[in-house]
């Protein structure tokens, strides 16, 4: 009897001892994952970059119920697990570049002035450029702000110019190149470029404000420098026509370090200016053959929206016939892109949001609003792989019953895709990091 009891005790102990817990188990050896960063208040994903150590650096917004936002920077390991986070009160981070020793960060610092009697002073924005070390400590910070004197109701007053930090990169001399925009109260939104010495960002080496612009210009959150030291990016141009505000796309292409830089974008190629619908560009990326951009093609009220994709050559000229229009439902059900004559045909509400250029083509990241025919509910992520000439290779849909919206997509060193954005379900949003294999799959 004693022997039996001993055996039973050994068996019971065996069950406990043989079960490895989650904490003790090694991580699964895989190339894909999904990781969420959330709180009891809404988190919104803005941009993600592949870090030099194989991990990732993410930025997002914490949206408080009083309308204020904090910027959130999260450093993760290669599996998306958080290593550290830094909250920067009162602002948003729109672009990050990782170097071996630092992170260059740009965005906005936002100040709420609910007591102000002037409408344009209720919310003031200042462009922010920061350098963080690899532990997330801010080692240098610069705020761009300016006051101008205006006459209102016969009285002279000093008012804030709203500055925004939109994108950041490095020029061919290793200096920091910052793309921003600004608005003098009562005037159009305009663009500016600023160049900084990375060792001292207290003052800019160059600052070019594009003052001679006659529309609102809203920049994408990416800027590139060509080998001939020209800065290139994409902007949405707001064109008012018979009480309708329509957007089209401009591809500014400006020389850096020139003796007398032009203060307008007269020579910049544009796209969609003659269409009666909007071409709202969202992202532009460099490719082995030039550049490519993605955006949303929709009626001026935003309805019947499709994704559009367009290529530019290395000389920053729009390649004729390179534009592709994509309706998500028709793509997923019929495996086809829209012909130019059917580009307004829209079975699903789609948005072109981000773009990654790869060695073998492009990966477009957009969103599709679920229809009775397709989708998992709410907005889902639509991934579309095109070859270098814009021909369809594959497509994928990712998402649950809530809304999944992409804010950036990058190619990783293992040729996988890093997709970052926001997942919203039951009114609470989380930052969402997805790493797939090169084919957009999560199964490996």
Partner 1 sequence: MIRSLLLTFILIGSVVSAQAQCAQTLRLAQSIYEQGRLQDIPPLLLPCLVGDQLSHDGKVAAYKLLTLTYLYLEEPAKADEMMLLLLRTETEFKENEVVDPAEFIALLRTFRREPVFRLGLKTSAVATERSVVSADYIDDGTNRGSHGFGFVAGLSGEIPFTGKLDAFTLNPEFMLQIVAFNGQNEYDQSAERGDTARVTPATERQVWVSLPVSLQYNLYSGQITHYYASLGLSADYLMSSRMTLSSTREGSSGIEEGTRSLTHMRNRFNSGALASAGVKRKIGKGLLIAEVRFKMGLFPVSSRAHTYADPALVFDYKYVEGINRINSLMFSVGYVINRYNPKKLASR
Point out which span in 195-203, 242-250, 291-299, 393-401 binds partner 1 (CB under 8 A).
393-401
User: What is the residue whose two structure tokens read 């957007």?
Assistant: 247
Rank residues 15 and 151 by Cβ distance to partner 1 and give the closer one: 15
Contacts of 332-337 with C-beta under 8 Å, sequence gap 24+, read 332/368, 332/374, 332/382, 332/395, 332/397, 333/373, 333/374, 335/392, 335/395, 336/392, 337/392
Rank residues 60 and 107 by Cβ distance to partner 1 and give the closer one: 60
User: What is the residue whose two structure tokens read 């018979």?
Assistant: 242
Q: Which of 123, 184, 428, 439 binds partner 1 (CB under 8 A)?
A: 428
- Kindly state whether residue 401 participates in binding partner 1, applying the rule CB under 8 A: yes
Point out which span in 92-100, 103-111, 319-327, 418-426 binds partner 1 (CB under 8 A).
418-426
Q: What number of other Cβ atoms are within 10 A of residue 278's Cβ?
A: 24
Point out which span in 8-16, 135-143, 295-303, 304-312 binds partner 1 (CB under 8 A).
8-16
Q: What number of other Cβ atoms are within 10 A of residue 10's Cβ?
A: 10
- Kindly state whether residue 205 participates in binding partner 1, applying the rule CB under 8 A: no
Write the interaction track for partner 1 spanning residues 30-69; mark x where CB under 8 A is met and - where it is not. x-xxxxxxxxxx----------------------------
- In angstroms, what is the minimal distance from the CB of 221 to partner 1? 24
Rank residues 186 and 427 by Cβ distance to partner 1 and give the closer one: 427
User: What is the residue whose two structure tokens read 């963080």?
Assistant: 132
Q: Which of 25, 119, 151, 339 binds partner 1 (CB under 8 A)?
A: 25
Q: What single DSSP character describes residue 68?
A: -
Distance, CA of 188 to CA of 213 (rounded, Å): 8
Distance, CA of 314 to CA of 336 (rounded, Å): 28
Cβ atoms of residues 312 and 293 within 8 Å: yes
Residue 287 tokens read as: 């490719």
- In angstroms, what is the minimal distance from the CB of 29 to partner 1? 7
- In angstroms, what is the minimal distance from the CB of 20 to partner 1? 5
Segment 369 to 388, residues that bind partner 1, using CB under 8 A: 376
Distance, CA of 324 to CA of 337 (rounded, Å): 7
Rank residues 168 and 398 by Cβ distance to partner 1 and give the closer one: 398
> Which residue in 235, 234, 393 sits closest to 312, CA to CA?
234
Q: Which of 195, 232, 398, 406 binds partner 1 (CB under 8 A)?
A: 398
DSSP bridge pairs for 123: 112
Rank residues 41 and 373 by Cβ distance to partner 1 and give the closer one: 41
- Kindly state whether residue 301 participates in binding partner 1, applying the rule CB under 8 A: no
- Kindly state whether residue 89 participates in binding partner 1, applying the rule CB under 8 A: no
- In angstroms, what is the minimal distance from the CB of 33 to partner 1? 7
- Kindly state whether residue 430 participates in binding partner 1, applying the rule CB under 8 A: yes
Rounded to a whole number, what is the largest CA-CA distance in the chain?
104
Q: CA neighbours within 13 Å on the CB side: how many for 394?
A: 7
Point out which span in 292-300, 347-355, 410-418, 424-432 binds partner 1 (CB under 8 A).
424-432
- Kindly state whether residue 7 participates in binding partner 1, applying the rule CB under 8 A: yes
- Kindly state whether residue 439 participates in binding partner 1, applying the rule CB under 8 A: no
- Phi/psi of residue 87, nearest 5 degrees: -105, 130
> Which residue in 259, 306, 252 sits closest to 278, CA to CA?
306
DSSP bridge pairs for 144: 127
Q: What single DSSP character describes residue 178?
A: E
Q: Which residues make up the interface to partner 1 (CB under 8 A)?
A: 3-4, 7-8, 11-12, 14-15, 18-30, 32-41, 79, 81-82, 376, 398-402, 404, 423, 425-428, 430, 432, 442-444
């Amino acid at each position: 009897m004693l022997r039996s009891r001993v055996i039973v005790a050994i068996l019971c102990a065996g069950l406990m001892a043989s079960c490895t817990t989650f904490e003790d188990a090694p991580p699964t050896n895989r190339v894909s994952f999904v990781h969420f960063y959330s709180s009891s208040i809404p988190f919104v994903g803005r941009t993600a970059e592949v870090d030099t150590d194989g991990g990732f650096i993410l930025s997002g917004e914490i949206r408080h119920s009083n309308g204020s936002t904090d910027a959130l920077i999260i450093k993760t390991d290669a599996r998306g697990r958080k290593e550290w986070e830094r909250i920067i009160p009162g602002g948003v981070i729109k672009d990050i570049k990782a170097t071996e020793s630092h992170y260059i960060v740009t965005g906005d610092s936002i100040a709420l002035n609910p007591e102000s009697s002037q409408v344009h002073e209720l919310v003031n924005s200042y462009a922010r450029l920061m350098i963080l070390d690899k532990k997330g400590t801010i080692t240098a910070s610069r705020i761009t702000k300016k006051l101008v004197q205006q006459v209102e109701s016969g009285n002279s007053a000093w008012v804030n110019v709203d500055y925004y930090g939109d994108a950041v990169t490095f020029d061919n001399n290793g200096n920091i190149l910052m793309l921003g925009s600004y608005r003098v109260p009562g005037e159009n939104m305009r663009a500016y470029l600023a160049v900084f010495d990375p060792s001292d960002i207290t003052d800019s080496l160059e600052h070019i404000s594009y003052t001679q612009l006659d529309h609102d210009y809203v920049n994408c959150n990416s800027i590139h420098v060509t080998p001939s030291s020209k800065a290139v990016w994409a902007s949405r141009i707001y064109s008012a026509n018979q009480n309708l505000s329509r957007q089209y796309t401009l591809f500014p292409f400006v020389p850096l370090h020139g003796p007398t830089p032009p203060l307008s974008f007269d020579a910049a190629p544009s796209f969609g200016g003659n269409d009666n619908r909007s071409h709202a560009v969202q992202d532009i990326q460099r490719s082995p053959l030039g550049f490519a951009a993605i955006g949303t093609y929709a009626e001026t009220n935003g309805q019947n929206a499709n994704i559009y994709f367009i290529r530019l050559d290395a000389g920053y000229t729009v390649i004729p016939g390179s534009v592709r229009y994509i309706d998500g439902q028709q793509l997923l059900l019929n495996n086809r892109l829209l012909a130019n004559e059917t580009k307004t045909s829209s079975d699903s509400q789609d948005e072109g949001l981000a773009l990654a250029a790869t060695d073998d083509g492009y990966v477009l990241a957009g969103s599709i609003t679920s229809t009775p025919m397709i989708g998992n509910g709410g907005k889902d992520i639509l991934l579309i792989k095109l070859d270098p000439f814009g021909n369809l290779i594959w497509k994928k849909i990712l998402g649950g019953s809530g809304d999944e919206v992409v804010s950036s997509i990058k190619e990783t060193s293992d040729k996988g895709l890093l997709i970052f954005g926001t997942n919203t379900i039951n009114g609470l949003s989380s930052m969402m990091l997805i790493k797939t294999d090169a084919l957009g799959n999560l199964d490996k």
